[in-house]
Amino acid sequence: MIENKIELELVPKAPPAAPPAPLAPPLPTPPGPRAPVLKPAVAAPSEQTGPMATGLLAKLHEQRLTFTGTGSEYFRIWVVNALLTLATLGIYSAWAKRRKASWFARHTLLAGDGFDFHGDPRRILIGRVLALALLVCYGHAFEWSKGAGFAMLAVLYAFGPMLFAGAQRFKLGNTSWRGVRFGFQASAATVYASCLPLLVAWTVVSVGAGMGLGPIVIGAAGLAVGLLFPLAHGWLKRFQHRHARYGALEFDFQLPVRKFYGLYLILVGVGLVGGFVAGIIAALAMGTLKALFGAQASLVALLAPLSTVGVLWVIGWPIYIARLQKLIWDNTRLAGGIEFAYELPAFSLFKTVMGHGLLTVLTLGLYWPFLAVRIAKLRIEGMTVLSDEPLDTLVVRAAQRRGRGAVGDGVADAFGLDIGW
């Protein structure tokens, strides 16, 4: 995938000198060419000047991201998006996503300036239709015949990695801060090497079931997927962060993949504890339901596993998200001496999911926008940007460079779609 590059040069601003008192009115000077300069931001009160230790170096300046959106404001956007999506049988969902992403980006501030999102809703719609068609065909291909199933699997393996990389390119390429856009660029070989392992892990069990293999073979395949999944996940995250950029400044991600195994071991431990708690809750619920409904054992059998999954999600998801984001961002760096630190209190996220999630259930989903804003605020404000120089003293000069060719740009644009929901 090819995209135009923007070269950035970070230059500390010199302190303004007091001008001498003029003896005569100064002569006007003809305007000359000016380099594009990002607007200097006013330092937020959260900026500190003490050194902060990160993965490799100690940085002198830190700036925490802030989120200024409110639940009531997002509720109005959410209601309009939902109504228009229903009225257009889902077609407006692409424009709804653009409006939602733009609202969240503009309310996310770094050093006093908000981000922005410029995605084309038509490309979001095309990406969704294409992704949905692939999933539907893949889900039913083995029902038609084994030949159709393998053919569909080959199509998925051939185009899936490029679509995923194109989605990263679309998302980052349409996100900007202070007038400079982010970007994503990786070679085709890197795309397939990074994305195929997770794609194979996602499909191997369902493919075995579609081929009619025995439970022992499917179980062995599932066990292999479980053992290799942290490795594939680590490769994917390294791929996402190492090939991202801000203008011409490249991100870097240095993290041994084995640390993802540590993360998943913690998740397994949490799952065991959560499963024990969920089992007790399910047993109590089953006893109560049997006493109330008597012979309706099918209802009890349905609610027991659902309640277990719900409890596991409420307990495990906050811990997983908090540790995963810290693991990733603490090991991500940006050229120009910029690093990141991330701290998301898992207990605060747990309380938010529990309390406001219950309100969402009781209001039949109407409280969802308020829950989404609270979760976004916790996750966004957990990020701190660390730098050698204060962010508001940096001047950005941009110079446009040509890409590698029209054919390469056309291929990149063809896959620059949003396939997410």
User: Are 127 and 170 within 8 A, CB to CB?
Assistant: yes
What's the token pair of residue 342?
Answer: 């991330």
User: Could you report the per-residue pLDDT of 246-299, keeping only the tens digit for each?
Assistant: 888 889 998 777 889 999 998 888 778 777 776 776 677 666 666 666 555 555
| CA-angle at 300, arms to 296 and 303, nearest 5° | 140
Rounded mean pLDDT of 44-60?
A: 47
Residue 293's pLDDT is what? 60
**pLDDT surpassing 90 at residue 48:** no
| Mean pLDDT score of the chain | 78
Q: Which helix (H) or strand (E) holds 249?
A: strand 249-253
Q: What are phi and psi of 341, to 5 degrees?
A: -130, 140
What's the token pair of residue 291?
Answer: 């006493």
User: Could you report the per-residue pLDDT of 339-376, keeping only the tens digit for each?
Assistant: 999 999 999 999 999 899 899 989 999 999 999 999 99
Q: Which segment of 98-102, 160-164, 399-403 scores lowest on mean pLDDT?
A: 399-403
Q: Pick the closest to residue 323 from 342, 302, 301 (CA basis).
A: 342
Residue 61's pLDDT is what? 85
- Report the residue count for the chain: 421
What's the token pair of residue 254?
Answer: 């240095």
User: Could you report the per-residue pLDDT of 8-38, keeping only the tens digit for each?
Assistant: 444 344 444 444 444 444 444 444 444 444 4
| CA-angle at 302, arms to 139 and 367, nearest 5° | 85
Residue type, 421: W
Domain spans of the chain, in order of start: 1-12+119-255+401-421
Residue type, 155: V
User: Could you report the per-residue pLDDT of 86-120, keeping only the tens digit for each?
Assistant: 999 999 999 999 999 999 999 999 999 999 999 99
Treating both helix axes as pointing N-terminal to C-terminal, what angle do 215-242 and 258-293 enclose, rounded to 10 degrees? 130
